[in-house]
Amino acid sequence: MAEENERSVVAQKVLMVFDFDHTLVDENSDLYVRKLAPNGELPEEISSLYQDDGWTNYMGEIFKYLHRNGSTPENILNCMSEISLTEGIQELLHFTRKSTSFEHIIISDSNSVFIDHILKKNQLSSLFRTFTNPARFEDNGCLIIEQYHTQDWCPLSTVNLCKGHILNEFISERQQHGVTYHHVIYVGDGFNDLCPGLALRPQDFLMPRVGFKLHKVIEKMAEKNKPVPRSKLEASVVPWSSGLDILQHLRNLPFVKTGQSS
C-alpha cells in the first residue's frame, strides 16, 4: 500500500530538451561574435588555436582578442541581440509553456552570457533551466569562459561538455524530487547531440534539424547500419526544419491531445 501511495505522488511530465545554436536560435552565437573582430576576421595566430577538443580555450582567446581590439560588454551583448530565434520556435514555446506537463531545459556548448542575454531579450528566461559553459565579464570588460566540466568517459563528446551525462544527471535529479518523464523530446542539430540521443528510450523522440550534422550522421547510421559506441539509437527520429514542424509533431501525439502522458 505504501508503495502504491509513493507511486501516486510522482508527477509525470514531458521533458523538452533543446540545443541552443542552430536550434533555438538560427545562428552559431560563438561564430557570430567574430564579426566584432577588425574587418570581421581573426588573425592566423587565433584561428590556428582551434581544436576539436579545445573549443572553450579557443573562444577564450577570441574574447581576449576582441577585448584588446576595443570590444566592450555592450558591443558583445548588442551583437547577441541581433540573433533571431529559429523560425517557428516562438510558436512552439508558446504552445508548450501553456501546459504544466512540459518542462524545458537547454544543454549547449555555447556559454551562459550569450544564452542568458538572448533568452532575456526574448522573454524566455523563466522557461528554461540552462546547462552550458559558465562565462562572465571581468572588471576590465573582457569576457571569460570556463569549461562546464572535464570529462574523459565519452568519445562522442568534447572534453568540456558531455550532453548525455548532463541529461542523465538532470533526469535523476528530478526523479529524486518526485518527477519522472514518460517522454523526452530532444531537439538539436550537431554531432554533440548524438550522445544524448543514444541515451533516449523507445518512448522518446530525437529531433535532428534537417541538413545539419546530427541529421546527416543519423542518415549514415541508417544507410550503413553503422555501429556506434554504447548502444543503438532507440528513440524515434523525427527530423525538423522549423519550430512549426516540432509543434505539429507534438500536436499529433496522443498524450498531448489528451493533456496527459501515455
In a domain, 117, yes or no: yes
Flag whether pLDDT at 182 surpasses 70. Answer: yes
Flag whether pLDDT at 258 surpasses 50. Answer: no
| Interhelix angle 89-96/243-251, nearest 10 degrees | 30
What is the CATH number for 95? Answer: 3.40.50.1000
- Segments forming the whole domain that contains residue 104: 2-27+84-133+148-257
Residue from 21, 30, 204, 245 carrying the catalytic annotation: 21
Residue from 19, 193, 204, 245 carrying the catalytic annotation: 19
Spatial CA neighbour of 166 closest among 158, 135, 51: 158
In a domain, 173, yes or no: yes
Q: Regarding predicted confidence, which is higher, 251 or 255? A: 251
Contacts of residue 58, defined as CB under 8 A and 6 or more positions apart, other chains included, come to 49, 50, 51
Q: Regarding predicted confidence, which is higher, 208 or 6? A: 208
In a domain, 103, yes or no: yes
Spatial CA neighbour of 15 closest among 205, 191, 209: 205
Flag whether pLDDT at 119 surpasses 90. Answer: yes
Average pLDDT estimate for 107-114: 97
In a domain, 98, yes or no: yes
Q: What is the mean pLDDT of the chain?
A: 90
Flag whether pLDDT at 180 surpasses 80. Answer: yes
Name the domain count of the chain: 1
Average pLDDT estimate for 90-99: 96
Q: Regarding predicted confidence, which is higher, 227 or 24? A: 24
pLDDT in tens, 8-23: 445 679 999 999 999 9
pLDDT in tens, 147-156: 999 888 888 8
pLDDT in tens, 193-242: 999 999 999 999 999 999 999 999 999 887 765 555 444 899 999 999 99
**Residue 48 pLDDT:** 86
Q: Residue 184: pLDDT band by 50, 70, 90 thresholds?
A: very high
HSE at residue 235, side-chain half, CA atoms within 13 A, is 23
What percentage of the chain reaches a pLDDT higher than 70? 90
d(CA 16, CA 37): 35
Specify whether 19 is catalytic.
yes
Average pLDDT estimate for 243-256: 90
Q: Regarding predicted confidence, which is higher, 54 or 108? A: 108
Average pLDDT estimate for 119-127: 98
In a domain, 62, yes or no: no
pLDDT in tens, 51-65: 755 789 999 999 999
**Which residues in 170-198 are b (16+ Cβ under 10 Å) and which e?**
bbeebeeeeeebbbbbbbbbbbbbbbbbb
d(CA 223, CA 182): 30
In a domain, 163, yes or no: yes
Average pLDDT estimate for 109-122: 98
Residue with C-alpha cell 541508417? 222
Specify whether 53 is catalytic.
no
Amino acid of residue 233 = L
In a domain, 192, yes or no: yes
**Residue 220 pLDDT:** 87
Q: Regarding predicted confidence, which is higher, 256 or 216? A: 216
In a domain, 72, yes or no: no
